[in-house]
Structure 1
Amino acid sequence: MPDNQIVMTSTDLLYVLALQRAPKIGDITAKKLIAHCGSARAVFEERPDRLRKIHGIGTYVTDNLRKAANLRDAERELRFVKDNGVGWWYFEDSDYPEGLRHCVDGPVLVFRSGAIDLKKKRMVSVVGTRRITTYGKYHCERLIAELAPWDPVIVSGFAYGVDITAQRAAISGGLQTVGCLAHGLNRMYPAAHKQYVKQVELHGGFLTDFWSDQGPDRENFLRRNRIIAGLSEATIVIESAEKGGGLVTADIAHSYDRDVFALPGRIGDKYSAGCNDLIKSQKAHMFTSVEDLVYVLGWHRDVDLPGKGSTGQEGVRVVQPRLFPDMDDTEKKIYGFLSERGKELLDSIALHCEMPVYKVSSALLTMEMKGVVRPLPGKLFEAVIS
């Protein structure tokens, strides 16, 4: 049962759905009506002449609002929600996603499946071309691996290419991932990705503001993109041609005053043209490593040591070196390699220690807190020799 079932009854949900179904009433107009009347049900009980006094509400809206078909369709969708255990977030509820709350066109109602937990979570959207190249795939997976220590939720559109690469990498790295869909929860598009549905739902889930009778029509993907952009504090475009859905999402994120990042590519590469244009037009920060994102967003990894109180300075990492720190086998292997080789890059450490990048990144963070390694400029690491 959805958490917000307690504060929103089936009758409340029925009228919200009926309001959604009424012609010419989108999310902005629906919020305006609810704010004026107090609830979706009150909108239907208000006199039409009073509704028409609201700016932007005309005769067409009030004449079509109470059509019986709207409630019949709403009842059918309510049955689908109940019969399939679909969760939802209503825009006035306390657990409605905070990022969407600040979007003027954020959905009145968001349906969800899986085990999504967005409370006090950092959220990053990763988007781009459906025709991801080897270059894009490498850097997309590297991005997710390097993000692991900050434990963000990875948001994308569950499409071919960059989307599914990012979401699979998130699952492999133990991160939560959310797929935003351009259709109802009674189907899955593309069909080839049905094999990943259970994995995503176990490590996050799916969101949509589309009803069960709405399929993956072309225009729905553009509407879906506002949720991808709105959920997150940053959107990263991995690869894109001069035109594409990733650029649309970036534009929406930019309009929401959210940070946008783009992976640069070689001049002349088709699927780097869009990213290079974003950077050139100053609509996106250049993304070369996770440290770029961490710096711009002001993320910190502060640590309070026992008996020491807080760090006292935001962004400063306090470590307490010990002569013989406890290290597990993974940390010992990395420490031994750095002791012999000196300064090394994350990728080099992973390669020579024969470990996934995300595992090395996580271990380095733990070792940094133990005071046995230190980060250096240029994304290098070295062992601290006692």
Structure 2
Amino acid sequence: MYDENTLYQIALTKIEHVGATTAKNLIRICGSPAQIFKEKKWKLKKIPQLRASAFQNLSDPAALKKAEAELEYVLKNGIRILYYENEEFPWRLKQQVDAPILLYAKGELISNAERVISVVGTRNITDYGKQLVEEFVSAFQQEAFQIVSGLAYGVDTATHQQCVKLQIQTVGILGHGLDRIYPHANTALAEKMLTNGGLMTEYGMNTKPDRENFPMRNRIIAGLCDALVVVETGESGGSMITAEIANSYNKDVFAYPGRVHDPYSKGCIKLIKEHKAQLMAAPTDLISAMNWDVKNDKKQEYQLHLFSDLQTDEKNLCEILQKLNVAHIDKLHQLSEITPGKLASALLSLEFKGLIRSHPGKRYTLVV
């Protein structure tokens, strides 16, 4: 399943002072993680913006030894490695300049679901906040939806619990390795999530849930989604950081206004007042703003009626997208066997007709 390239991909993440941006720059210049480790040192030294500390660490044999141990753990525990140049890597996250080069995933999670919503909020959730979470999650019981959160106490826990209860795909993003669950009280919940969703992290085994890991974890929660929802939060803390990151990624951010005198509504109110979040009184507000719809039998009939009026190539593409939910242009070319020129023309025509939507990274989804 994994080869020598995987070993070097892991090893690159084990080198101190080599972050995601530096790693991608090295890969771009050298061609692959393996080539970075095999490259002559004098050539590496000439790479611009490579810090001296990073250069010294590239020759440290400990990185490969750590990678070997990591890969052994991955293989023994049914963990998937998602490398940023592979198709399985979450395409929404890949668009962000600070996205990690590698993710570890466990469970039956879909790494590129059709529609992804991230939900964040305070660890000190109120009864009112719990009610909001339950009502919100209940509105997204179609297969197309995946709900992401951080498996922390409070809003995160309530979100994952409601997803498990309603059998909605849910993914917990961790600030530590997959060899532990933090908080420990959520171990049973995490186990249940593995059957319809799962766990994801950029951190390898033996990584403790240190405080500095969680802002990094938050950027993944923000980067994975189409829309971020803030349920309850104070004026500072992780949820506010995640909302700021989501805004910097040009994501759609929504917030429940809450009760004006409640300390855990102040953060939501601040986001709304500063136009950093859209006010959301009900899930339908998000659905409307995102131009999403609920799939049903009548809609299926309407789709078939629309498809019958299309050109052969256009109809073929719509039928493929109906099955795949989201597809890269290369996948559409492969499955449709339409020439590149005709493919581009058909996709543009379908966009003008409002039947499909294009996304960053040359990916397409069906709108109707």
The TM-score normalised by the length of structure 1 is: 0.76
**Equivalent residue for 2:64, pick from 45, 48, 71:** 71
Deviates more, 1:143-152 or 1:171-180: 143-152
Q: In the alignment, which residue of structure 1 is the partner of 2:336?
A: none
The TM-score normalised by the length of structure 2 is: 0.79
Query: Does 2:262 align with 1:242?
Result: no
Q: In the alignment, which residue of structure 2 is the partner of 1:309?
A: 305
Q: In the alignment, which residue of structure 2 is the partner of 1:351?
A: none
Alignment of 1:250-261 (within 5 A): 250-261=243-254
Percent identical across equivalent pairs?
Answer: 40
Query: Does 2:294 align with 1:298?
Result: no
Query: Does 2:57 align with 1:85?
Result: no
How many angstroms does 1:150 deviate by? 6.9
Q: 1:121–1:307: structure 2 CA closer, same or farther, 3 Å change rule?
A: closer
Q: Which runs of 4+ in 1 moved over 4 A?
A: none
Alignment of 1:72-221 (within 5 A): 72-149=65-142, 151-221=144-214
Give the whole-Å Cα distance in 1 for the aligned partners of 2:259 and 2:125: 15
Q: In the alignment, which residue of structure 2 is the partner of 1:362?
A: none
| Kept after mapping to 2: 8 A contact 1:22/1:70 | yes
| Kept after mapping to 1: 8 A contact 2:104/2:200 | yes
Query: Does 2:279 align with 1:286?
Result: yes
How many angstroms does 1:53 deviate by? 3.2
Unaligned runs of 5+ in 1: 314-386
| Kept after mapping to 1: 8 A contact 2:113/2:144 | no
Query: Does 2:78 align with 1:58?
Result: no
Q: In the alignment, which residue of structure 1 is the partner of 2:347?
A: none
Q: 1:164–1:120: structure 2 CA closer, same or farther, 3 Å change rule?
A: closer
Give the whole-Å Cα distance in 2 for the aligned partners of 1:26 and 1:307: 46
Give the whole-Å Cα distance in 1 for the aligned partners of 2:187 and 2:304: 50
Which deviations, in whole Å up to 9, do the C-alpha atoms of 1:127-159 show, x marking residues without a partner?
000000011111111001122247410100011
| Kept after mapping to 1: 8 A contact 2:130/2:155 | yes
RMSD: 1.9
Q: 1:68–1:243: structure 2 CA closer, same or farther, 3 Å change rule?
A: same
| Kept after mapping to 2: 8 A contact 1:77/1:212 | yes
How many angstroms does 1:113 deviate by? 0.7
Give the whole-Å Cα distance in 1 for the aligned partners of 2:120 and 2:107: 21
Q: In the alignment, which residue of structure 1 is the partner of 2:259?
A: 266
SS in 2 for 1:235: strand
| Kept after mapping to 2: 8 A contact 1:304/1:310 | no
Report how many residues are paired. 306
Deviates more, 1:289-298 or 1:32-41: 289-298
SS in 2 for 1:186: coil
Give the whole-Å Cα distance in 1 for the aligned partners of 2:143 and 2:205: 35
Give the whole-Å Cα distance in 2 for the aligned partners of 1:160 and 1:260: 21
Q: 1:307–1:198: structure 2 CA closer, same or farther, 3 Å change rule?
A: closer
| Kept after mapping to 2: 8 A contact 1:52/1:58 | no
